[in-house]
Chains A and B, each alone.
Chain A
Amino acid sequence: SQKIEQNSEALNIQEGKTATLTCNYTNYSPAYLQWYRQDPGRGPVFLLLIRENEKEKRKERLKVTFDTTLKQSLFHITASQPADSATYLCAPNFGNEKLTFGTGTRLTIIP
């Protein structure tokens, strides 16, 4: 069965540095992959979507890459700020409406 892993469970980054989060999947490549942010006690909020034929997507300080050979997506936050502290979830879609969420990475930006 399909497995989605986000490394690592928790990540601490100094303010101003770039935070890089990984999302690895097994077996089939997703048609597209989404990244969400979740704050404690809240529902996830959509950030970026990248399709299988796209290598990279950017939105302000955020950048997502998608490598179907490595079966991996990377999520970067440049010039990180304490307000970026949250849990980040990757969610590949394998061709239907359902999204399967990764385990999540809890990011803390240290002032």
Chain B
Amino acid sequence: GAVVSQHPSWVICKSGTSVKIECRSLDFQATTMFWYRQFPKQSLMLMATSNEGSKATYEQGVEKDKFLINHASLTLSTLTVTSAHPEDSSFYICSASAGIYNSPLHFGNGTRLTVT
């Protein structure tokens, strides 16, 4: 089945530093990748949609300069949390789509970010 690898699985960083999270589709080409954020005991909140080779589309309220998304190839998207603050601590999850309408999304296993 389709596999999405997300790395790192957890990261602790100091306030003010930047953190990069990678999302790779291992056995299929992902024309679209989605980035979600999830707080404890809450559902997934879509942050942005990224299409290979074009700028990401951010959801309302998500700062594009703070959460930089790059989708440089059909198998890799990255999310960089810039100048991280403790309130950015959360569980970040990516998912990938092969671009086929109404097909399931394949999720990575998430990255637990803790900003101290």
Report which A residues bind B (CB closer than 8 A).
31-32, 34, 41-46, 49, 51, 89, 93, 97-104, 106
Contact = CB atoms under 8 A, between A and B. Distances in A.
Interface residues of B, number: 25
Interchain residue pairs A-B with the least CB separation, the first 8? A43-B107, A46-B104, A101-B44, A101-B43, A43-B109, A43-B93, A32-B102, A103-B43
A100 B42 CA distance: 13
Contacts, number: 53
B109 A42 contact: yes
Interface of B: 4, 6, 32, 34, 41-44, 46, 49, 91, 93, 95, 97, 99, 101-102, 104-110, 112
A89 B44 contact: yes
A43 B34 contact: no
B44 A44 contact: yes
Contact of A46 (B46, B105, B112): B105
A101 B95 CA distance: 13
